[in-house]
Structure 1
Amino acid sequence: MAELVLTFETHPGRTLTLALFRDVKNAKEVRATIADASKPEFAYMNASLIVDPFVVQLAAQRALAAESAGRLVTKSLHTELLYGISGTKHVVESLKRFGIADDTTTLLLARFDCQPEELAAAQSLIAGVQVPLCELPSLTDTELVDKCYKITPAELQGGRSRTDAVVFRIGAKDCL
C-alpha cells in the first residue's frame, strides 16, 4: 500500500514532508489559517499544477539555499517554496497561481522539518480525502500546467516529459 505522507531529506538535517488531498471542500477555511501566526506554517499548493513531487523537491532545495545565503525573495521559507515552483520571477503571481484559492479541490501540503503533531493538526483541518502521493499525476491538469509554464507541444516530443519542461523553467528562472 502506498504511503499517505512522504518525507524527503532536502539538506543535511532538514526534511520536507508532503501530503496530498483531493475533494477538498474547505479551501477557504484552510486559506484563512495561513496568516494565523499561532499555527505552524505550511505551504498549501494547488495540486492540479504540480506534475511531480520532484518539482517540489527542487523548489525546496532552492528555498533552503536562499535561506542559508540570506537571500529569501519572500517573507518565509514556505512562501519561498511556492515561489520556487513557479517559472516566473513575479512573487505575487507565483503565490496566487500555485497557492490555493477558495475553490481549490486538490491540495498538496508541504512543511519543512514537520513534527508529527503539526502534521496531524494540518490533516485534521483539511476537509478532504487524503490520498497517496503516487496519485498526483491523476490530479494534475496538464492543459493548465502547459499554460502556466508556457510549454509547447514541440518541447514534449522526442521523449521529453512535462516534468522535464517544468524543471527547466524552474532552473532557468534566475537566468531570465
Structure 2
Amino acid sequence: MSGGGFHVHGPHDHELEHAAQHEPKGMAGQLAVITAILATVGALFAYMGGATQANAGLYKNDAAIKKTEAANKWAYFQSKSSKQNLAEIALDLAPSEEQKAKYKAKIERYETEKNEIKKEAEALEKESADFDHKSEEQLHQHHRWAQATTALQVSIAVAAIALLTRRRWMEWATLVVGGVGIAVGIAAWLHL
C-alpha cells in the first residue's frame, strides 16, 4: 500500500517482486505467470460467488414477502369463512322467508369470495416456494464458487512456497491445486 511517501508490502509480495526482477526466466518466471493467471481467475470466481450469494438473499427475501402475502390471504379467507358461518346460523334462525333468502345470498357470495381468495393464496404460496427453490439453487452455486476461489487461493499460496523453497514439485502442486479450483469453477458455471 502506498501512502505518505513510503511503500509497505508483505514478504510474499517482496519475494515475488525480487524474483521477477532478478530471475525473470526459469521457475520464478513460470510461477509469476501462473500466479497472475490464478489470481485473475480467482477474482472472477470471487465476483461470481458474491453475485450468487446476493441473488440467493434476494430470492429468499422475495419468498418471505410472498409467504406473508399468502398468510394475509389465508387470514382474509378465514374471516370470510367466519362470516359465512354466521350467515348459516342466521339462516337457521331467520323467522321469515325474506330474511332466509337474504342469508342464502350472503352464504353464496361468501362461498364465491372464499374460492377466489383461496386461489390467490395458493398462487402466492407457489410463488414463495419457487423463490425458495431459486434461492437454494443460487446458494448451492455460491458454495461451488467459494470452493473454487478457495482452491485458487491455496494454489497461489503453494506457488509462494514453491518460489521461496525452490522446490519443483511445489510448482506442480500449484498447478494441480489450481486445476482443481478451475474444475470446481467450471462445475459452478454449469450449475453442478
| Range class of TM-score, shorter chain | under 0.3
Q: Normalised by the size of structure 2, how large is the TM-score? A: 0.21
Task: Name the structure with the higher strand share.
Answer: 1
Structure ranking higher on relative contact order (CA contacts 8 Å, 6+ apart): 1
TM-score for the superposition, normalised by structure 1: 0.23
Structure with the greater alpha carbon radius of gyration? 2
